[in-house]
Amino acid sequence: MLITFFKWKFIVSFVAVFIVIGTFFYSNMLAKKIATQERKKIEEWVSAQQTIASASDFDNISLATIIVTEQQNIPVIETNEYDSIMSFVNFDSSRIVNNESYLQAELHKFKSRGAFIKTYFDNEGRRFNLYYYDESNLLKQVRYFPLVQLLIVILFSFFMLISIKNRYESAQNHLWAGLAKETAHQLGTPISALSGWLDILRHGGDMNQVLPDIQKDIDRLKLISERFSMIGGIPKKEENDIIQVVSGVVEYMRKRASEKTHFVLQNNLNENSLVFFSTPLIEWVLENLIKNALDSMEGVGKLTISIDETLREVNIDITDTGKGIPQSMYEDIFTPGFTTRKRGWGVGLTLSKRIVEQYHSGQLFVKQSELGKGTTFRIVLKK
């Protein structure tokens, strides 16, 4: 689960960086195109200004007038050869009135940009006007858009990671709480049995008759301790007879199930049934799945455990005739804390999936399920 959290953290960060970089390059390309168009627009505007200024009473200046009047987006300051301001367009008139140095400050800013157009009035080049211009609001927005988007992506990524972190911590809390309750539950049965045997001995019970049962409960405690010690560590895996292990678990669970539950074990393997796995952990997975199946059938029904193989895998199917699972919950049932039982802790399937998939590089999933008819869980182990 920790790996999943860091995987999502990496994915979110990578997507965020990719979006920002992609947007930056695209916005920069778009800004260059707009800047080129705006310069052309100012050149046309200056030319139109000159056409109007030099026109006689009989010249048609309608096109030039349209060009001049439609230029309402780009601020322009006209100066002469002495750097005196001759005219200006597309400025806030109220700011000009209230601040005498406003235009000079804007002119200085325009000069620092280095964007201007120069026109001459004599052949010697002594008389000329300079038209300094700024960027339009549209161009400024395009240039600053990547920064705005970067901020948005950073905020989104931050809240996304916080959400993922909270979900991870919540899942961890459910898992640890469930593990604590599962530990108490697993230990409870053999401890209660040992207390009972101790009372029998105190009241004069036969030691020789009681000792085998005490040994069984002690062995069960050792098995429980061994299983929990493997969680979070690296379990020892060996070649084991999968038929023998499954048969042992089925027989163990059969003795503890209702007499109205019919167990069926189907072995479809070849003679060689050796598989590389950790026996205590796979036994735990089988016990959890069979226990869930028995709970789903409420003590009445048929439980089929089928074992078959492919070239590289061994498949174990646990099929019950219980209530069934809605397809929308196929993934949810493996989430820590998820349970449909009143006294359930929602940790059995989570641990089982972790054991099979993380510790054995296998698979555990709902193969099929139908409401009112039953469910099939499949365990896939590599040979």
Supply the pLDDT for residue 346.
Answer: 53
Distance of CA 204 to the CA centre of its chain: 63
Question: Do residue 137 and residue 240 come from a single domain?
Answer: no
Task: Report whether pLDDT(122) > 80.
Answer: no
Rg (CA), the chain: 40
What value does the mean pLDDT take over residues 243-264?
90
Task: Report whether pLDDT(76) > 50.
Answer: yes
The whole-angstrom separation of Cα 76 and Cα 73 is: 10
Question: Do residue 19 and residue 134 come from a single domain?
Answer: yes
Most confident option among 6-20, 171-185, 336-350, 353-367: 353-367
Supply the pLDDT for residue 2.
Answer: 46
Supply the pLDDT for residue 286.
Answer: 94
Supply the pLDDT for residue 137.
Answer: 86
The number of helices, as runs of H, and strands, as runs of E, in the chain is: 9, 11
In a domain, 9, yes or no: yes
What value does the mean pLDDT take over residues 269-298?
88
Question: Do residue 129 and residue 254 come from a single domain?
Answer: no
Question: Do residue 373 and residue 243 come from a single domain?
Answer: yes
Q: What is the pLDDT of residues 181-196, one digit of tens each?
A: 666 666 766 787 788 8
Task: Report whether pLDDT(144) > 50.
Answer: yes
Question: Do residue 251 and residue 366 come from a single domain?
Answer: yes
In a domain, 185, yes or no: no
Supply the pLDDT for residue 8.
Answer: 62
In a domain, 213, yes or no: no
Domain end residue (candidates: 99, 118, 141): 141
Task: List the domain range (segments joined by +) for residue 86.
Answer: 2-141
Q: Residue 363: pLDDT band by 50, 70, 90 thresholds?
A: very high
Domain end residue (candidates: 141, 159, 178): 141
Bigger pLDDT: 157 vs 332: 332
| Phi/psi of residue 118, nearest 5 degrees | -115, 130
The whole-angstrom separation of Cα 95 and Cα 97 is: 5
In a domain, 51, yes or no: yes
Supply the pLDDT for residue 317.
Answer: 97
Lowest-pLDDT range, 43-47, 125-129, 231-235, 328-332? 231-235
- Work out how many domains the chain is built from and give that number: 2
Q: What is the CATH number of the domain that holds 323?
A: 3.30.565.10
The whole-angstrom separation of Cα 337 and Cα 351 is: 11
Task: Report whether pLDDT(277) > 80.
Answer: yes
Lowest-pLDDT range, 92-96, 215-219, 278-282? 215-219
CA-nearest of 141, 381, 173 to 276 is 381
Task: Report whether pLDDT(4) > 60.
Answer: no
What value does the mean pLDDT take over residues 315-341?
85
Domain end residue (candidates: 74, 108, 141): 141
Q: Residue 242: pLDDT band by 50, 70, 90 thresholds?
A: very high
Lowest-pLDDT range, 54-63, 89-98, 290-299? 54-63
In a domain, 59, yes or no: yes
In a domain, 190, yes or no: no
Q: Residue 282: pLDDT band by 50, 70, 90 thresholds?
A: very high
In a domain, 300, yes or no: yes
Percent of the chain with pLDDT over 90: 28
Supply the pLDDT for residue 233.
Answer: 67
Task: Report whether pLDDT(6) > 60.
Answer: no
Task: Report whether pLDDT(1) > 60.
Answer: no
Q: What is the CA angle 343-355-238, rounded to 5?
A: 135
Q: Residue 3: pLDDT band by 50, 70, 90 thresholds?
A: very low
In a domain, 289, yes or no: yes
CA-nearest of 26, 336, 10 to 169 is 336
